[in-house]
Amino acid sequence: MLQNIRFFALVSAFVFTALPAAHSAQAGEAKIKVEKPVKDFGEVRPHQVFNFSYKFKNAGTSTLKINRVQSTCGCTVPELNKKEYAPGEEGEIKVRYTSSQREGPVTKHLYIHSNDESNPRFALKIKSNTVLKISVQPKRVELSLVEDNAGFEYIKVTSKDGKKFKITGIKCRNKAFNFNYSKDASKEHMITADVDSKALQDSLNGVITINTDHPDCGVVSATFQTLPLYSASPARIIVQDAAPGLITKREVWIKSNYGKSVEIAESQSKNGYMSCKTKQKRDAMTKLMVEIEAPEEKGGSRYFTDELELKINDEHTLDVKCSGWFKR
C-alpha cells in the first residue's frame, strides 16, 4: 500500500512538473496589431488617387508570417515587401487607392492572411465619399425603338460649384449615337443626339461617358436603357434531373413590348435538343410549348445547353436558352 502511494506521488509530481513546460511551448503565438485598420478619406473627387500605408506590429511571442494581402477590387492595390516579422517587429502595407467615379459613400476591404490563429483574416477598411461638382440630368435615359429619334431628348450637365467648364468629349460603346454639344466653357451644357434606332437594337443598354475639363470633376456619366421589341418569359429554361432521351415540356410566352402582333415564322435549335411544338396567340402575346430532349451524356459532363432561335414577324430574332443537369 505504501509503495502504491509513493508511486502515485512520483507520477503526480512528474505530470505537474511537465505541465508548465508544455503550456509554455503552446503559448508562443503570432498576433497582428494594426495601428489604424480603418482609413477614411472623407469627401473626395471621382478617380482621385491616394497613396498611403497601414502600419502594423507583431504583438505576439512567435514569428508572424503573412501569406498575402487580399484586395477585393482593382481600385485598391496593396504592396507588402516582407512576409515574416519577429515578435515586436513593425511593418507596413503600402496601398494605392483610386476613388469611385460614382457619387456617394464607398467602403472597400483588404484582408491580411497570416498565421495569427485568433484572426487569420484580418480586415482593413477604406472609406470615401465621392462628391461630384457636376450634376447630370437625367441620370438614366429611357429610350424607345418605335419613337422618333428613339425618344432621346437631351442630357443636361450643370456645374454645382459655379465654375465654368468645357465638355472635352463624349464616349459610348454603342455606335447608334451622334452627340451634339457646345465646346465653349459654360456653367451648363445641353447635350442632344441623333439616334439610329436600328443600330440601337444591337446594344439596348449602356453608359454614356462625358469628359470635362472641370478641375474637380473630369468625368461624369449617364446610363441609357431601351425596351426591346420582344421579350420571352422565361428567357431561360432550367432542366434538372435530366436523363438521355427524356423530354421536358415548358410553356414560354413571347410578348411584344410595343403592342404589335407576334407571329413566329420559324424556330431553329442550335444543338438540336429544343423544339417548338404548339403556338397559341393572345393579343400582343404568343404562348409556345417548348420541348427539350436531353442528349446522351458526353465525357462525363453533367451539364448541357441549347438555344432556340425564334424568327418573329419575319424581321426579328429572339433566343430562348436552356440549361440542363443530368440526374445522379
Q: Do 217 and 234 lie in a common domain?
A: no
Provide the residue type at 12 as one letter.
S
> Cα(194)–Cα(156) distance, rounded to whole angstroms?
16
Report CA-CA distances (Å) from 214 to 40, 84, 126, 134, 221: 25, 46, 26, 8, 14
Mean pLDDT, rounded, for 157-184: 97
> Cα(57)–Cα(87) distance, rounded to whole angstroms?
8
> What is the per-residue pLDDT for 58?
98
pLDDT at 160 over 60: yes
Confidence of residue 16 (pLDDT cuts 50, 70, 90): very low
pLDDT per residue as tens digits for the range 287-298: 999 999 999 998
92 grid coordinates: 507596413
> What is the per-residue pLDDT for 311?
94
> What is the per-residue pLDDT for 280?
87
Q: Do 148 and 198 lie in a common domain?
A: yes
Within a domain: residue 262? yes
Q: How many CB atoms lie within 10 A of CB 225?
A: 11
Within a domain: residue 3? no
Confidence of residue 313 (pLDDT cuts 50, 70, 90): confident
Give a three-class secondary structure readout of 32-95: EEECCCEEEEEEECCCCEEEEEEEEEECCCCCEEEEEEEECCCCEEEECCCCEECCCCEEEEEE
pLDDT at 22 over 90: no
Whole-model pTM: value is 0.71
Q: Do 197 and 209 lie in a common domain?
A: yes
Domain ranges, residue 189:
134-226
Reported in sequence order, the residue ranges of 243-283 that DSSP labels E, i.e. its strands, are 247-256, 264-269, 274-282
What integer best gives the mean pLDDT of the chain? Answer: 91
> What is the per-residue pLDDT for 164?
98
Instruction: List the single range of 21-35, 42-56, 210-224, 237-251 with lowest mean pLDDT.
Output: 21-35
pLDDT per residue as tens digits for the range 254-275: 999 999 889 999 999 999 999 9
**Residue with cell string 469628359:** 211
pLDDT at 23 over 70: no
Within a domain: residue 20? no
Confidence of residue 319 (pLDDT cuts 50, 70, 90): very high
pLDDT per residue as tens digits for the range 199-252: 999 899 999 999 999 999 999 999 999 999 999 999 999 999 999 999 999 999
Instruction: Please identify, among 130, 163, 178, the residue that sits at the C-terminal boundary of a domain.
Output: 130
> What is the per-residue pLDDT for 185?
98
Within a domain: residue 18? no
- Whether the CB-CB separation of 85 and 93 falls below 8 Å is answered with no
> What is the per-residue pLDDT for 27?
57
Within a domain: residue 152? yes
- Whether the CB-CB separation of 208 and 294 falls below 8 Å is answered with no
pLDDT per residue as tens digits for the range 88-98: 999 999 999 99
pLDDT at 48 over 50: yes
The CATH number for 234's domain is 2.60.40.10
Mean pLDDT, rounded, for 143-159: 97
pLDDT at 144 over 70: yes
Q: Do 81 and 170 lie in a common domain?
A: no
pLDDT at 50 over 50: yes
Q: How many domains, the chain?
A: 3
Q: Do 150 and 176 lie in a common domain?
A: yes
> What is the per-residue pLDDT for 9?
42
Q: Do 114 and 197 lie in a common domain?
A: no
> What is the per-residue pLDDT for 66?
97
> Cα(207)–Cα(139) distance, rounded to whole angstroms?
10
